[in-house]
Amino acid sequence: MTDVLGYILIFVAGALIANGVPHLVSGVRGDPFPSPFAKPSGVGNSSPMVNVLWGFGNGLAGAVLAIRWLPHDVAPIADAVCAAGFLAMALFCAAHFGKVRGANG
């Protein structure tokens, strides 16, 4: 699929995969980390188990989107769009969690 919707879904796939990384890593390390399920949402810490599940769910959803919507006829462009989604979410996470966790940025 080479239409705009396909590229949007590939971008979202990259963003979902990137969003899953800090949650999954924090959970596996046994560290509490902010998640949408915390109070307040996205600022308070959730348990490591919640973060493993949230990170895995984000990664799985991103992988399903990428596998389903990857336009094979223009794979290099689709790869770049997925990477752009990953980078955009990674930068957002760095800024947001740096502020929430009190890091200087």
Please report the pLDDT score of residue 66 as a whole number. Answer: 84
| pTM of the model as a whole | 0.79
Examine residue 105 and state whether it is found in any structural domain, yes or no.
Answer: no
Q: Are 32 and 26 in contact (CB under 8 A)?
A: yes
Q: Are 84 and 14 in contact (CB under 8 A)?
A: yes
Please report the pLDDT score of residue 102 as a whole number. Answer: 76
- 20-65 pLDDT tens trace: 999 999 999 999 999 999 999 888 999 999 999 999 999 999 999 8
Q: Are 86 and 14 in contact (CB under 8 A)?
A: yes
Examine residue 18 and state whether it is found in any structural domain, yes or no.
Answer: yes
Q: How many structural domains comprise the chain?
A: 1
Instruction: Give the mean model confidence (pLDDT) for residues 62-75.
Output: 78
- Which residue segment(s) compose the domain that 24 sits in? 4-100
Please report the pLDDT score of residue 105 as a whole number. Answer: 44
Which one has a higher pLDDT value, 103 or 79?
A: 79
Which one has a higher pLDDT value, 17 or 73?
A: 17
- 4-16 pLDDT tens trace: 888 888 899 999 9
| Per-residue 3-state assignment (H helix, E strand, C coil) for 42-77 | CCCEECHHHHHHHHHHHHHHHHHHHHHHCCHHHHHH
Reported as half-sphere exposure (CB side, CA atoms, 13 A), residue 42 has a value of: 8
Examine residue 27 and state whether it is found in any structural domain, yes or no.
Answer: yes
